[in-house]
Amino acid sequence: MHRRALVAALALTLAGGAFSAAVGQPAGPSQDPAAAPAGEYVLDKNHASVIARVKHLGLSNFTIRFDNLDASYTFDPKNPAASKVQATVDANSYDVGTQQYQGMTLNEHFIKQRDILGNSKNPTVTFVSTSIQPTSGNKGVMNGNLTMNGITKPVSFDVTFNGTAPGMGGGPQRMGFSAEGVIKRTDFDVLKIMPVPMIGDDVTIHIEAEFTKK
């Protein structure tokens, strides 16, 4: 009986693989950057996110998600470190939740105190990479210039290359990355409404990005 179960499981596994191949389901992603073709890649906005976390009263990590973002980069499999990344985030597209606070939602509360990000006068946050340095395995460090509240400062992100694979049904090649970095609010003069230590100075930014070949 045990032998029959093993045979049945193997048959189901093989059948599933055959079905995936038949419908054009991509195989698992390759961790080799050279597996992706050269060219320009653009952000798949449906599979990307930018999340910021900052200390509130030193007690919790308050989370802000930004809904409107865009990014692109040029890629050469012979020299991945030469990739040039450009990204923008609409600072007014923050989402902090619909729970009530002082008779209004948290999102409405932030609208009244929007200068926490300097976005009332400078709503666009931009990043332009200056160098990408591989470290070990599928990891590296991306350095660049971040402009927020009209102020530009150098920042660094720890990046993980999640892999590359064709899109569903033989669609354009895709590449996926995760990145994390820390910036200081004092560097960008965004303390007018929420001063330190009420709100922490360090802001941790976490990025999930999936790109498709243009």
pLDDT in tens, the chain (214 residues): 555 554 444 444 444 444 444 445 556 889 888 889 999 999 999 999 999 998 988 899 989 899 999 999 999 999 989 999 999 999 888 888 888 888 888 777 776 666 666 667 888 999 999 999 999 989 999 999 999 999 999 999 999 999 999 988 888 999 999 999 999 989 998 876 667 778 889 999 999 999 999 9
205 assigned to some structural domain = yes
pLDDT digits (tens, 9 = 90+) for 35-75: 899 999 999 999 999 999 989 888 999 898 999 999 999 99
**Which residue range(s) make up the domain with 149?**
30-213
24 assigned to some structural domain = no
53 and 206 Cβ atoms separated by less than 8 Å: yes
138 assigned to some structural domain = yes
Q: How far is CA 11 from CA 26, 29, 133, 146, in A?
A: 20, 24, 45, 53
91 assigned to some structural domain = yes
* Cβ partners under 8 Å of residue 118, min gap 6: 91, 148, 149, 150, 151, 188, 189, 190
135: domain CATH number is 2.40.128.110
19 assigned to some structural domain = no
Could you give the number of structural domains in the chain?
Answer: 1
pTM of the model: 0.81
Residue 57: Cβ-neighbour burial (10 angstroms; 0-12, 13-18, 19+):
exposed
For the chain, the farthest-separated pair of C-alpha atoms sits apart, in whole angstroms, at 72
125 assigned to some structural domain = yes
User: How far apart, in whole angstroms, are the C-alpha atoms of residue 65 and residue 68?
Assistant: 10
CA neighbor of 94 nearest in space, from 111, 81, 80, 70:
111
